[in-house]
A and B are shown apart, each in its own frame.
Chain A
Amino acid sequence: MRPITRRSFLRLLVASLGSAATGRLLAACNLAPQPEAGLPLATSGPAAIALPTPAMPLPPTDTPSEAAPTPAGIPDLAVARGGDDPASLVERALAALGGMARFVPAGANVLIKPNICVAYHSYEYAATTNPWVVGALVRLALDAGARRVCVLDYPFGGSPDEAYARSGIQEQVLAAGGEMLSLSRLQFLPTDIPEGLDLRTADIHEQALQSDVIISVPIAKTHGLARLTLGMKNLMGLILDRQAIHRNMGQRLADLTSRLRPALTVIDAVRILTANGPTGGNLDDVLKLDTVIASPDIVAADAYASTLFGLQPSDLEYVVAGAAMGLGRSDLGSLRIEEIPVGG
C-alpha cells in the first residue's frame, strides 16, 4: 500500500471538516426563512398539524374523529369477541367501524404502534401485542391503499430487533407486507406539544411525526403507576425520555396524545395480563379473553378496556385527563358500542 503523505492526509482532514461545517451552515440556512424559527427544525415535519406561531393564540386542533364525524349507523366503538382467530376479531371490529378505508386514505403513510415493551417473552405471556392482531392491521391498511405501513416500538428491556423477533410481531408484519423499522436514537426529534398542559416538549420519533395515520395497538395489561397500559400509555414507546412521563403521568400521557392523535386505537385483549405488568413472564397472570376493541376515539377505547379488569374509566388518570382535554369521551353510557360475537 502506498503510504499516505502528510499533504494528502491534511487535504482529507480539511475536506471532511469543511463538509461537516458546510452541513451546519446549510442547516442554519434551512432554519432561517421559516416563521417559527424559534422552534426546532424537527417540528416542521408533518404539514397536517398546524404549528402556531408564538404570537397567535392556539387554534383548536381537530381530532381525526371530530374532523370526520362518525357516520350515522356506525358505532363509536366496536368490540369483537370469541373464536380462536385474532385476525378475524380485528377484521370484524374494523368492518363494524366502517372499514379501514375510513381511517387510511389511499396513498397514506401509516404507522402502527404495537406494544413490544420487552424482548423477554413470546406473545403467550401477554407482555407484547398479539402478532396476528398487528399483522391483520397491516394487511387491512395495505388493502385500503396505504403507500407504506411501518411498525415500530422502542422497548425498555432488551434491544428492539430482539424484541421484534421474540414477540412474533416481526414475522406477521413482514408476512402481511409491512415494514419493521429498525431503531436509531437520531430519529427522536425534539418536538413541541402546543396543546400540552404539563408536558410541553418531547423527543418524538420522526415516523410518528411524518405519518399520515397513527394506529395505536396496545395489549391490555397492568402497570404499577398507570394501573393499566392501554392506547394512550402505548404512545410512550414513540418518545425517548420515558422518565419524564412518570411524573404526573395521567396529564402528561394526555398531553402526548394531543400531539400524536392516533386515528385509530385497537386494543388487543386476546390475552390480557392481570398482574406483574408491564413485563409479565408468568402464564398464571394471563387471562385469555379473545377480545379486540377498536375505536377512532382513544379515550373511549381505553375507558372501555378498563372494564375488562373490573375497573371504572375514572380509575385511570389518563382517561380522565384525556376526556377533560377533549381528546375523546369516557362516558361509556352515552357511547354507541357495538358488541360483535365471533365464531364459537
Chain B
Amino acid sequence: MAAEAGRRRRRRFTWGRARRATQAVSLLAFFLLFLGAARQAVAPKWLDLSFRLDPLAMLAQAIASRRLLASSALALVTLVASVLLGRAWCGWVCPLGTLLDVFTPRRRNSPPADGLEPWRAAKYLLLLAMLVAAAFGSLTLLILDPLTLVFRALASSLWPALDQIITALERAAYTVEFLRPPVAWLEGVLRPGIFPIDPVHASAGFAVFLLLAGIVGLNWLAPRWWCRALCPLGGLLGLVSKAAIVRRHVDPACSGCAACARRCPTGTIRPDRGFASDPAECSVCMDCVDVCAMDVNGFHAARPKPAWEAYDPSRRQALTAIGAAVLGVGLLSSDPRRDHTPPYRLRPPGVVDADFLQTCIRCAACVRACPTAALNPALTDSGWEGVWSPVLIPRLGYCDYSCNACGQVCPVQAIPALSLEVKRQQVIGAAYIDQDRCIAWADHIDCIVCEEMCPVPEKAITLETVSIPRPDGVEVGVKLPHVDRLRCIGCGICEYKCPVPGEAAIRVFTSASTLF
C-alpha cells in the first residue's frame, strides 16, 4: 500500500521535481554564461550576472577595494531572498550545490554524522576570516567562494582538458575518410565559439581541479558536507537565514517516523529535537515535505526567532578566526613577491598592479574570455596572496591586438573596461631580447619572426642589417632585431611566436614604464 501511495505521489507535483528543474535551469544558465564569455557571444552586461548575484564576493570586494560598485547591488536580491526564504539559494540555485547533489553517493540515507556536527561552525569562521582579511585588503580567501570556484575550474581546468580529449578523438576520427565530413561539421560547431582554434594550455589546471574534486569528495563524508560545514557563502546566507521569515514547521501530529531526518541532505532535521531544524542549515530543498507520509512537514511564514545553536561558533572561536585572518594577511603581505614584482609577472591589459589583488575576486571570467589563453590563474607568481589571480603568460598565448575582452567581462572592473583603441596603448610589459639565444644575434641566421609579429603600427621591434663574419670567415649580412621600449606595449606575441625552443629568446618583463 505504501508502494502504491508512492507511485501515486510520483505522478503528482512534488517539490523535489520543481527544485531539480530549477537547479537544472540555473546550472544551465551558469554554464551558458560561461560559454558566452568566450568571444563575447553574450553581451558583457549579462556575462557577469552569476557573480553579481553572489553577495559574498560583492561584499568582500567592496570592503577590500573600498569601492562600491552600483552593479553589485544585484547581490541584494540574493540576500533579500534569503531573509524571506532562508538558504533557498543553496538548495535551488547554487551551481556548486547542484553539482554536489549530482555527485552524491548512492546511499543517501546516511545516519546523522554526529562527529561532523561541530564542523558546522567552520563556515562562519571562514566567512569571518574572509571579511576581516578583506578589511585588510586581502581577497585571497575568495578562491573558496562557490561561484568563483566552479567558474574557475570550468575555465582553467575542465575546459582545456575537454578540449584536449575532443581534439584527440577528432584527430583519430579524421584519419578515416568517411568520418571526415561529420568531424569537420563538428569542428565548425565547436570552433572558435566553444573551443579555440589553436590548442590552449592551462598553467594552474590541475591545482584548480583538485580543489573542486576535493569538495565533491567531501560528499562521501556526508551529503553536501561542503555546504554544511565549509561554504563561506553558505555561512553568509545562513546567518541571514537565521532570521528567515518562511521557515520549516513540524505539526504536532508528527508520528516520529524520522523519514524526513533520514532524507534531509544537510542533516539538520534532528529527531532528538522533535524533528525541528535550523534555518541556517536548511537548504529549503523541501524533500522533507515530499517524504512526509503524515503531511506534517511544512514551510510557513513565521515571526523569526533567531537562535544560536550549540555547534555555532563560540566567541573564542570567532576571536581566533579574526586573529588567524589578521596574522594570515600579515604573512601573505610579507611575501617578497607581493611588493618586489617578479620579473615575468604580467597582468591583464590596463590593470594597475598596486591595487589589483584588492579588487580581483579570482573568478577567472577573464581567463575564459581570453581568446588566446594568454591569461591563466596564477599559482604563486605573485606570492600566495595572489593565488589564482590572472596573469598573462606570453609563452602560452599573446594579448591579441584586436581584443579587449578581459576588461569587458570582469565583473568588478579589476581589469578596466577599455575601448579597443585605448587597450591597444596599454603597456603590459616590455620585451627584451636574449642576445645569447636569439637566432640572429647568436647564430647569425636571419629569423625576424618577432619583428614580423609586432602589431604596433610603428613597429616596436626594428631590424638592423649588420655585416658579421661567420666562424668560417665569410661576411654575412644579418638582420638583428632591436626592441624600442618606448613603443613596445608588451603584448607578448613576439615571445609567443619566437621559434627558439623552450624559453623564448625574446621575453616580456614586468613593465618598466617608469624607466621610459
Contacts and interface: CB of A to CB of B under 8 A. Distances in A.
Contacts of B192: 159-161, 182
Contact of B197 (A41, A159, A166, A225): A159
Interface residues of B, number: 46
B263 interface: no
A282 B463 CA distance: 18
B198 A224 contact: no
Contacts of A158: 371, 400-403
A200 interface: no
A325 to B, nearest CB: 21
A224 B455 contact: no
A278 B452 contact: yes
Given A224-B463, A243-B449, A281 B457 contact: yes
A157 B455 contact: yes
B197 A243 contact: no
Contact of A246 (B448, B457, B459): B448
Interface in B170-202: 170-177, 179, 183-184, 187-188, 191-192, 196-199
Contact of B176 (A30, A159, A249): A30
B453 to A, nearest CB: 7
Interface in A226-256: 243, 246-247, 249
B378 to A, nearest CB: 25
Contacts of A282: 457-458
B493 interface: yes
A97 to B, nearest CB: 32
B485 interface: no
Nearest to A229: B452
Nearest to A28: B175
B187 A120 contact: no
B458 A276 contact: yes
A228 to B, nearest CB: 13
A246 B447 CA distance: 6
Contacts of A30: 176-177
B29 interface: no
B454 interface: yes
Interface in A181-214: 182-187
Interface centre among A3, A118, A158, A249 (most CB of B within 10 A): A158
Interface in B392-451: 400-403, 445-449, 451
Interface centre among B188, B191, B452, B499 (most CB of A within 10 A): B452
Interface in B121-137: none
A326 interface: no
A20 B169 contact: yes
B337 interface: no
A330 to B, nearest CB: 22
B16 to A, nearest CB: 12
Contacts of A280: 457
A119 interface: yes
Interface in B234-281: none
Nearest to B168: A20
A27 B196 CA distance: 27
B482 interface: no
B175 A119 contact: no
Contact of B400 (A157, A160, A161, A247): A157
B174 A186 contact: yes
B459 A23 contact: no
B499 A246 contact: yes
Contacts of A278: 452
Given A185-B198, A276-B457, A166 B184 contact: no
A184 B455 contact: no
A26 interface: yes
Interface string A148-185: 00000000111111110010000000000000001111
Interface in A279-323: 279-282
Interface in B90-116: 106
Given A160-B197, A162-B402, A225-B479, A23 B455 contact: no
Contacts of B179: 23
A120 B172 contact: no
A280 B403 CA distance: 17
7 smallest CB-CB distances across A and B, nearest first, come from: A281-B457, A282-B457, A184-B187, A224-B448, A27-B175, A243-B499, A119-B402
Given A41-B175, A158-B400, A187-B184, 14 more contacts: A23-B172, A27-B176, A120-B402, A156-B453, A157-B400, A158-B402, A161-B192, A182-B192, A184-B188, A243-B449, A243-B497, A279-B452, A279-B453, A282-B458
23 contacts: A23-B179, A30-B176, A118-B401, A119-B401, A157-B401, A159-B192, A159-B197, A159-B400, A160-B192, A163-B402, A182-B187, A182-B188, A182-B192, A183-B191, A184-B184, A185-B199, A224-B448, A225-B448, A246-B449, A279-B452, A280-B457, A281-B455, A282-B457
